[in-house]
Structure formats: C-alpha cells, structure tokens
Amino acid sequence: MSSVVDVRRDGDIAVVTIDNPPVNALGHAVRSGLHAAMRELRDDASVKAVVLAGAGRTFPAGADITEFGNPLQPPGLGEVIEQIEAMPKPVIAALHGTPLGGGFELALGCHWRVAAKGTRPGLPEVKLGILPGAGGTQRLPRLIGPVEALPIIVGGEPIPAERALQLGAIDEIAEGDVIEAAIAFARRVLAEKRPIVRVSEREDKIAAARADRSAFEAAAAEATARTRGLEAPVACAKAVGFAIDLPFAEGLKREHALFLDLVKSDQSKAQRHLFFAEREAAKVADMPKDTKPRPVVRAAVIGAGTMGGGISMCFANAGIPVTIVDATEEALQRGLGTIEKNYGISVSRGRMSADDLTARMGLISGTTDMTAVADADIIIEAVFEEMEVKRDIFGRLDRIAKPSAVLATNTSYLDVNEIARATGRPGSVLGMHFFSPANVMKLLEIVRGKATEPEVLATAIDVARKLKKVPVVVGVCFGFVGNRMLRARSLESERLLLEGASPAQVDRALTDFGFPMGPFAMIDLAGLDIGWRIRKAMGPTADGGPAPIADQLCEMGRFGQKTGRGFYIYEKGARGGTPDPEVAALIERTAADMGIVRREISDEEIVERLIYPMISEGAKILDEGIAQRPGDIDIVWVNGYGFPVRLGGPMHWADTVGLAHIRDRLRHWAQFNPALQPAPLLERLADEGRGFASLRTGRDKAA
C-alpha cells in the first residue's frame, strides 16, 4: 500500500485517505497511490462505495506546484480524476479545510461532495498564472452553471461552504465529523439506489448558455475587465467558454492545451515565484526552531493620525481589542471620527454590515492617558517622524508597558536601534512598518533591530498574519527595503524631467510597464510636503536626493492633490490630474539655469533609468543582509508599491532581463551620473553569468 494513500474499511464502504503533509498536495506519489487504490477498489466486489478524504489540516490543496516545470510523471491528475469519475460504484468526497485547485477538481470528479463546516473550496490556479488543468473549467460550469463558475475560476477566491452548497458545488455540510457524514451519505445513496452522478455527463446547467451566450459573454467581459496584462484570467474565461461550446472530451483537451501553454509562460513562473517567496519572506534563517510567539490578546497604538487609525482598524478587523493613545483629546476624537467614517464607507458600499461596524468600533477605545497601555501585549507607535519624539515615547513606554510587551515603531526610515536604546529593554523593540492606507495595504516590513529577541520577532510575524498582512523581515537601514529602493528611483525621476521628459511621459512609461501609478502621480497623492520637510530638516540628500522641481513646487504651495496642484492640476470632481503648462515652464527654466540641454527621451530610457537603479540598490540591500533573499525584495515591491505581479517583482524580473544587460546599461548611464554605477554584487553575478535566484538559500522551488 502507498505510504501517502491509506485505505481502510467501514463495512462495505472503503475510506481512502490522502496523507501527504502539510497540505496533501497531489504530487506523483499521491497520484499513483490513488490510481492503484481506485483500481483495486473497483475490482473488489465486497466494496460497495468509496469515501475519499484528506488527513490532517485539509483535503488536497492542489497539484504539487514544485513539480511544475519538470516533465510530468504519469499518471496525470486528469487521468486519476477520470478514473474516479468512471468508477462503477458511488465515490463521495469528504471535504475539509481548503480543497483548492487540483484538490477541488478531484472532488468534482467524485459523484457527490460532503463538506465539513468552515470548508473553503476554490480554484485559485489563476493566481499562479495558470488555469485549472485537470477538468475544473469543464466540470464546474456543468455542475453549477457557466455564469456562476466564471467568477470562481477567473477570480480565484475560495468560497465559503454555505455558498458552495447554495450553488450546488457541494451536496451537504456535515454537522460533525466529515468522514462519518460522508460514510452515512454513501449508505443513503446505496439504500436509495441513487444513480451515480458524473458531472462530465451533465448538460442541464449549460443548456441555457448554449441557447443564448449573451449572459455568459457579459459576465466574462466583466470578470476580465481589469487584468493588468495578465494572461491567465483571459485564458480561464476562454476555457469556461469551451464548456459551453464543446463536448466534454473536446473541452478537456482544449483546457489542457491552454494549461500547458500557461505553465511554461514567464508570467506563471513569476507568479509561482511570488507564491513561494511570500511564504519564505517571514522565515528567519537564524531563528531557533523552537521559538514561540507570545500570545497577543490586547493591542495599543500610539498616535491617532492616518497611520495610527489605519493600524487600529487592522486590529479591530482581526477581532483584537485596541487602545489608541494621543496627546490631545482633539486629535484623538478626530482620529476616532475618521475611523468611524472609513467603516461607514464600507457599510455604504455593502462590504460590511452595520452590526459589524458597531462590533469593530466596540473593539477600539481611545484615551489621552499613556498608562492605559499597561496591559497591552503589543504597542505600536505611529507618531510623526522625529527621533526625539519617538525616543521620548519609547522611554515612557518602557516605564509603563508590561515586561512581556512587544514595543514596535511604525517609522518608515528612522534608526530602529536608536529608538530601542531609549528603553531599558531593546530586545523587546522592533519596527513594524505599515503602508498607507494601513487597513488596505498588505505589506508589512518587520524591521529587526540589533537587539530584537527571536521571540519578539516571532510575535510580530504572528501578529502580522493575524492582521492578514504579508510580513517581510528586514534589517535596519535608511528606508529599509521599500523606501530605500524608492529613493533610488525618485533620484532619477527628477533628473529625467530636467533632461527633457515631462511628468506625464514619465508616469505613462511606468504605467505602461505595469505600475498602477507613475512616480509623479504618486508624489501628488502622498503629498510633496512630506519629502520637502525631510529634505529641509536633514539636507537635500535625505529623501530621494536633491529635488529642485519638487522643492520649488512646495515653495509655491503646490503640495499635490490636497492643494489641487502639484506636478499636475487637479480639478474638482476630475479623477486624475492634468498636465500644467506652468510646471512645464518651471522645468524648462530650472534646466536652463542648471545648464542642462533638454532632449527627446524615449520610454525605454525612462524604464531603464528608473528601474535598473532600483535593482542595483536591491543588490546592495542583499549584500548588506538588510533583506535575506531576493524574493523578499520582490514581495515588498509587489505588495507595497504596485510592481506588476506578472513580472514577479524587480529582482525576479532582473533575472528574466539578464543581469549582464542591466549591468551594461547602468554602466552606460553612469557616464552621465556616477551614482548609477552598478552595485558590486550585481557586477559579480553578471560576470559569473548568474542571476539573483542563484543566491537563494532554500531549495529553488518555483523554478
């Protein structure tokens, strides 16, 4: 018997259990184990029905992604599923956990599906740049209807068991143990002599779409309207169309052909890289294996401003009570008011119920009395960026907080070690750098100080997961990973203006590249005054280097969207900004004053000069150990700054482009600006013909 597929008997019912931790992925051993077990059970006359289940935390969560890219070892998953569907005796899937991708496809090949409470089935393949390639795009539409199947396949989000039941994707939600419930279901099927239901033979749910495709077409257009250059969502919709237009066997063939094309594509490689990189980014190589996070049942946030408010919302959303402390009653009330208003918007858009709003506001309390944080397990400081203010706060927290509390700062560039030294317990201090708006953005840079204890780090990572963030552990330096690389980009973006580009051209080159927003639209949104104040306080190289245009705009009171003017003009009610001739004239004048002769600049040059320096900075960050792996940098940029997912992040993309090419182009630009000299690590890897991926310490899973 296979070591990953167990068969036991319960009277005349056979229970087949897949046991391949951690998520019962359907790798070669599982597929061949299933294949052999099903053949035996088919031929065993004493077996009247079969229950198929997963051991441990879930029914299979999909094909084994680590096998992608290597030649397939038979039997293929599609073959195993067809074999199960063809069984002459009832096969009932007993689902629990997250039956995803190939796991859900396996369940669709069974004749009935019983699910435990809380099961979340789905077809998330699209997020890996592929489509369900083991019959999912052909069976799900036949089971629940193509219009209903479409968003599940194109969107990739798992659905709650209740919704799956409503749609007919599952047949029963079990009250108690799901395997027992599935066995009882099988006995009922046998007693009632119910005919076996093979989804591939069902036509009833696709008949309407066959007669009139218009509802499906409209749903497909809506589902693929905002795909940002991704191929997989379009292929998913196309494959669902095959279910309507083609006989099952033909549709299956076409689905598989699309799957094979996608799995080879650069986009899918990039997305699979991001899948594994996201899981690795929170792992700390030198953390002792037995490190346990401390329990966090109560949180506190210092500062009721935009960041503090957003962070507090994250805790309330996760069901963790949070106390906000601000110096004045007025600031506190304003902050609490903003939070309530933000939740109100969610309610009015139907994303949240009024009861939820009451419940979440009930978890948030405010005070001007710092001693209220005494019982908090984690305290996050989110006041403005001034070292002295932060040191003062941490000194006070040190006297008030309980000994086991984690003390975190949300600074975006200040020295976490220096902040830690303001306390008598630097081991309890670290950075938790949220991105704005904190209640929306997924990224969380967890900044490990020199003294941060492993347990404290583990607690921050655990809290990040509870807040549904994507944590990336980074080291201390100016701007950490994200803002330090952004700085390399900002430095060049103003130079491009002076040399001949317009803000609109620079922004368009980057949105064409795949960013949701260009650098100047982004500064206008964030406010030009932030960088201006930093440059004034810390010298012109502090924030993105000298910025003569931005500085002059600020002196004119043009702080961006909030003042209606920045690099662009913002008319009331208009969505984006429009170019401003006054800004164009200012740029020309400044260039002339600086003796710069303006010239035609190509979009290609813009991309090279904005993104290659970021990559070079990324190489320095790796060399210094600020980031542990190139994939960590990719996760920061994809989740915090909108780097296009289809390119897999800056470091992965750099490998695709080729490091030798990037080195050569940076050397070329360095003739005009020595700061663009390629980083030593980039030089070395390029000389050796290697990519950043070769630096990975873990096994190269996503290859």
Between CA 350 and CA 352 the distance in angstroms is 6
Report d(CA 470, CA 639) in Å as an integer: 8
CB of 457 to ligand 3H9, least distance (A): 17
Span from 126-134, 369-377, 577-585, 597-605 in contact with ligand 3H9 (CB under 6 A): 126-134
> What does the alpha-carbon distance between residue 658 and residue 235 come to, in Å, rounded to a whole number?
28
Count the residues of the shown chain that bind ligand 3H9, applying the rule CB under 6 A: 24
Residues sharing a CB contact under 8 Å with residue 316, sequence separation 6 or more, in sequence order: 322, 360, 361, 363, 364
Return the H-helix or E-strand segment holding 408: strand 406-409
Contact letters (x/-) for ligand 3H9, 28-67, by CB under 6 A? ---------------------------------xxxxxx-
Q: Is 105 assigned a catalytic role?
A: yes
15: left (phi over 0), alpha (psi -120 to 50) or beta: beta
CA-based nearest residue to 435, from 457, 404, 467 = 467
Is residue 71 within the footprint of ligand 3H9 (CB under 6 A)? no
18 or 304: whose CB is closer to ligand 3H9? 18
Question: In whole angstroms, how close is the CB of 66 to ligand 3H9 at the nearest point?
Answer: 5
Taking the complex as a whole, the smallest distance from the CB of residue 227 to ligand 3H9 amounts, in Å, to 18
Candidate residues 34, 106, 128, 679; the one interacting with ligand 3H9 per rule CB under 6 A: 128
Neighbours of 209 (CB within 10 A): 22
The set of residues, in sequence order, having a beta carbon less than 8 Å from that of 446 and lying 6+ positions away, is 282, 430, 431, 432, 433, 457, 460, 461, 464, 471, 472, 473, 474
User: Per CB under 6 A, which of residues 100..119 are in contact with ligand 3H9?
Assistant: 100-102, 105
CB of 700 to ligand 3H9, least distance (A): 13
Q: Could you say which residues in the range 605-634 bind ligand 3H9, by CB under 6 A?
A: none
Q: For residue 699, give both structure tokens.
A: 């096994």
Query: Which one among 132, 426, 544, 649 touches ligand 3H9, defined by CB under 6 A?
Result: 132
Q: What residues numbered 245-284 form the site for ligand 3H9, per CB under 6 A?
A: 276, 279
Q: How far is the CB of 686 from ligand 3H9 (least distance, A)?
A: 30
The amino acid occupying position 499 is E
Q: Are the CB atoms for 423 and 452 separated by under 8 Å?
A: no
In angstroms, what is the C-alpha Rg of the chain? 28
For the bound state, the minimum distance from the C-beta of residue 261 to ligand 3H9, rounded and expressed in Å, comes to: 13
Is 125 labeled as catalytic in the residue annotation?
A: yes
Q: Which of 77, 456, 619, 693 binds ligand 3H9 (CB under 6 A)?
A: 77
Nearer to ligand 3H9, 566 or 630 (CB): 630
- Tell whether the torsion through CA atoms of 417, 458, 365 and 469 is positive or negative: positive
Q: Which amino acid is at 86?
A: A
Half-sphere exposure of 481 (CA within 13 A, CB side): 43
- Alpha carbon distance 40, 51 (integer Å): 14
- Nearest approach, Cβ of 279 to ligand 3H9 (angstroms)? 4
- Binding ligand 3H9 (rule: CB under 6 A), the pick from 5, 16, 25, 438 is 25
CB 485 within 8 A of CB 621: yes
Stretch touching ligand 3H9 by CB under 6 A, among 122-130, 306-314, 359-367, 525-533: 122-130
Taking residues 134 to 173 in sequence order and writing x for each that binds ligand 3H9 by CB under 6 A, - otherwise, the string is x-x-------------------------------------
- Which 277-336 residues touch ligand 3H9, going by CB under 6 A? 279
Question: For ligand 3H9, which is the closer residue by CB, 119 or 410?
Answer: 119
Which residue of 24, 98, 410, 628 would you call a contact of ligand 3H9, by CB under 6 A?
A: 98
Nearer to ligand 3H9, 289 or 349 (CB): 289
DSSP state of 595: T
133 touching ligand 3H9, by CB under 6 A: yes
Minimum Å gap between C-beta 147 and ligand 3H9 is: 21
390-419 residues near ligand 3H9, rule: CB under 6 A: none
Q: Which range of residues in 36-44, 93-101, 159-167, 593-601 is near ligand 3H9 by CB under 6 A?
A: 93-101
Query: How far is residue 222's CA from residue 232's CA, in Å, rounded to a whole number?
Result: 15
Distance CA 81, CA 565 (A): 60
Separation CA 373–CA 381 (nearest Å): 11
Q: Helix, strand, or coil here: 609?
A: helix
Using CB under 6 A, which of the segments 9-17, 28-36, 121-129, 667-675 binds ligand 3H9? 121-129
Active-site option among 125, 172, 617, 683: 125
Q: Which is nearer to ligand 3H9, 470 or 662 (CB)?
A: 470
Annotated catalytic residue, options 105, 381, 453, 617: 105
Residues 505-544 that bind ligand 3H9 (CB under 6 A): none
Q: Which of 54, 90, 99, 124 binds ligand 3H9 (CB under 6 A)?
A: 124
Reported as half-sphere exposure (CB side, CA atoms, 13 A), residue 366 has a value of 23
**Residue 659 CB, nearest distance to ligand 3H9 (Å)?**
27
3-state SS track over 126-154 = HHHCCCCCCCHHHHHHHHHCHHHHHHHHH
For residues 189 and 236, which CB has a smaller minimum distance to ligand 3H9 in the complex? 236
Binding mask 551-570 for ligand 3H9 (x = CB under 6 A): --------------------
Residue 380, strand partner residues: 301, 408
Output the smallest distance, CB 528 to ligand 3H9, in A. Answer: 40
- Going across the sheet that includes 172-174, the strands are 5-10, 13-18, 49-54, 91-95, 112-116, 172-174
668 CB-side CA count, 13 A:
10
Tokens 């299933």 identify what position? Answer: 34
Smallest distance from ligand 3H9 to CB 635, Å: 13
Q: Assess 125 for contact with ligand 3H9 (CB under 6 A).
A: yes
First to last CA, the chain: 31
Catalytically active residues are 105, 125
Residues near ligand 3H9 (CB under 6 A): 22-23, 25, 61-66, 77, 98, 100-102, 105, 124-125, 128, 132-134, 136, 276, 279
